Structure formats: C-alpha cells, structure tokens
Amino acid sequence: MLVPIRRAAFQVGKVTAVNKQLPPCSLKVAARGHETGRVRTPSSCGLEDPVTMATMHRPRCSLPDVLGAAELVRRRRRRRRYALSGSVWKKRTLTWRVHSFPQSSALSQEMVRTLLHHALTTWGVESGLKFQEVGFQSPTEPDIVIDFARAYHQDSYPFDGQGGTLAHAFFPGEHSISGDTHFDDEEIWTYGSKDGEGTDLFAVAVHEFGHALGLGHSSAPDSIMRPFYQGPVGDPHKYRLSQDDREGLQQLYGKVPQTPYDKPTRKPLAPPPPPPALPPDSPSLPTPDRCEGNFDAIANIRGETFFFKVLPGAEAAGCCPSVQGPRSGQADQSEGNSQVSSANP
C-alpha cells in the first residue's frame, strides 16, 4: 500500500504545519525532518512504500532531525554518517541524578540506576569523560537530570503514550535543561526481556545520552544513534559503541588520553621453559652365563644351595649392594642354620 507522504508526515507527528499550496514533491524536504528521508528515500514523488512506512511507525527518539540546507550539503560530501549538534560540554567530569523513576516498570530503582550508570560509562570509556552520580543533597544542580515523565512535562516535547516516541534528551549548553534526559513513563521499561516485551532501558539510555553529549542522529546501519528503536543491545558490560558513534564522540571530546599507566605492564608471554631433563637410563646388565663356574658367593639356606655373582656394572648402577662374603675360614651362621661363604679364597 502506498500512502501520500503529506499524510505520513502528519501521522508520525514530525510535521506540524505544511503549506497546502506546495506541490506534493516539495513535501519531501518537510518529511525529511524526521530522519526517514535519510534512512530510506521516498519511492516516488509524494508517496512512501510499505517498508518506509513501517520504519516511520517504529518507536523512535522524539528529538527532531531537522537539518539546515548547508548541513545537508556538507553531509553529502562526507562518508561519515554521525551528526554533531554544534554544542559540547566544556568540562570532562559531568554529574547526573535520577529525579524520578518509572512507575509501571518491574525494574527496581537500583536496577534503573545501574543501567543508567552503564549507559553513561559506555560513552565515557571512548572519550575520557567521567560521570559522577550525585544525590538530592548536592549543593549544585547536576549536569544531567533524568526523569520518567508522561505527556506534557514542561519542556515543549510531550510524550505520546506507549509506542511512538520513547525518550528525548537536550544538547549540552548553559541552560538549566541542557543535558537533561526524559523517558516516557507510559512505556514498559525492561532489561534482558526474553519474550521481547517492553522497551529495553539500557539501549534507549545509551542513545539518549549520546544526545546529551552533543551527538545528533546517525544513518549508519550499526549506530546506536539511529532515530528508531532497534531493540536490546546485549550485556552492558560487553557492549561497545560502533565505529561511527566513537568517531562522532571523539570529534567532540577527543580520544581517550594515553598515559604511561594506561599501557599494559604485563610482559609479553615468554616461550615455556624446556622440560626437565630425564635421569639417565640405567645401564643394561649382561645376561649371566649359566656355564660360568666363578661365583662371588655361595649360600646354603634351609637345605638349598644358592650361587651369587655380581655382574659387571651392577654396583655402579646401584642395583645391588656389594656382596662381601666372610673371610676365608669363617662361616656366617644365621637364623635357620643358613650358611653363606665366599666362593673366592
């Protein structure tokens, strides 16, 4: 189904007034105010195809995407897709506080604060920015105030209930509202939902904090700054910004400063030491010759006669003690009337 772009622009709430005298093709620029014009170009003059319309009706950030003509021309000349708001924080340590928590979410307040902390840290590790949470007893107002609000909430950007717009944030500046981030409290905020229900708070928070730091929307496919909700992004401990998002952030705040302490101090892995040498093999003993008549000792034990001969090398190998018979003319009497005598005089 094809829908006139004039009606589509009004349906998504991104065009509040359009000159009715303009021809349909002129409304393309007006409709580009909500980012779809950059994500997917209208299929024909004044019409949108079903794929574009489906994108337009996905939940999204409520920050407008209106660009000046000069910015549009400049953006066409470059390959990067991130957008900069032109405003930036002049300090590198920002304070934040949750002013109000979601009322219809199963997430505890502690979990909400933890997810927001990780979302801010995601940007900090790529820029050197530091974020410090402060309480209500702080003597100064925090840089970023976070609220979960409904409908009209005193900032001229009302929420529209569940679905539609999810949240918005204000760019850096000197105003009291600069950096503040608002979430629609009528959304069902979740984290790690396995059934796909609700809206992932961590994913949306990372997006909105990008605005609070000065980034606009991006058309890069893997950017967290795309205007439309893309679902959960996984474990906050393992999540990392896309290259487009990192480049945009570092364009504003520079790269993480490198110090000697930041470099790895662990030595490179050395090759393993050689295994310990095995003890030398014992020398093999020669097989005794039964016809040999020379013996080192003869023993008569319990009526049986035993002949003993120490083979060459046996003593050096430690296989047996040296056989020392009694001296000539002497006999060694032991238990059982055993007698051992030396065979050699």
Cβ(57)–Cβ(73) below 8 Å: no
> Do the annotations mark residue 49 as ligand-binding?
no
pLDDT score, position 48: 53
Mean pLDDT by 10 residues, the chain (345 residues): 36 37 29 38 44 52 44 44 72 96 93 96 94 92 96 88 91 92 96 86 96 93 92 93 95 79 47 55 62 76 80 58 46 46 49
Any idea what DSSP says for residue 215?
B
Closest by CA position to 157, among listed 63, 56, 16, 225: 63
Q: Which two tokens stand for residue 69?
A: 């003509």
Give the separation between CA 226 and CA 60, rounded to whole angstroms.
9
168 labelled binding-site residue: yes
Q: Token match 């120490």: residue?
A: 310
Sign of the alpha-carbon dihedral angle for 54, 57, 59, 63: positive
The candidate with the shortest Cα–Cα distance to 212, out of 165, 117, 153, 145, is 145
pTM of the model: 0.58
Residue 217 one-letter amino acid: H
Could you please report the per-residue DSSP string of 273-330? PPPPPPPPPPPPPPPPPTT----SEEEEETTEEEEE-PPTTTTTTTSS----PPPTT-
262 marked as part of a ligand binding site: no
Long-range contacts at 162-166 (CB < 8 A, ≥ 24 apart): 162/186, 162/187, 162/188, 163/59, 163/187, 164/13, 164/59, 164/60, 165/13, 165/59, 165/60, 165/61, 165/62, 166/59, 166/60, 166/61, 166/62, 166/199, 166/204, 166/229
| CATH fold for domain 93-253 | Collagenase (Catalytic Domain) (3.40.390)
Q: Where are the domains of the chain?
A: 3-57, 93-253, 297-342
pLDDT at res. 330: 43
Q: Is 237 annotated as a binding residue?
A: no
113-149: burial string, b at 16+ Cβ within 10 Å, e else = bebbbbbbbbbbebbebebeeeeeeeeeebbbbbbbb
Please report, as a single letter, which amino acid is at residue 98: V
State yes or no: is 315 an active-site residue: no
pLDDT tens-digit readout, 86-113: 689 999 999 999 999 999 899 999 999 9
Catalytic residue among 35, 126, 186, 208: 208
